Amino acid sequence: MFPDSYTGITGYTAHIRLKQDAQPVYYRPRPVPYALKQQVEEELDKLERNGVLVKTDQSDWATPVVVVPKADKTVRPCGDYKVTINQAVDDEQYPLPTSQDLYAELSGARVFTKLDLSHAYAQLNVDKESQPFLTINSHKGLYSYTKLPYGVKIPKDLPVCHGQNAARHSSLLVQPG
Instruction: Read off the pLDDT of residues 8-44 as tens digits, 9 standing for 90 and up.
Output: 677 778 889 899 999 999 999 999 999 999 999 999 9
The residue among 143, 146, 129 whose CA lies nearest residue 8 is 146
Across 46-73, average pLDDT: 93
Weakest-pLDDT range from 30-34, 73-77, 91-95, 108-112? 91-95
Q: How many Å apart are CA 22 and CA 14, to the nearest integer?
A: 19
The residue among 80, 73, 92 whose CA lies nearest residue 135 is 80
Across 60-89, average pLDDT: 93
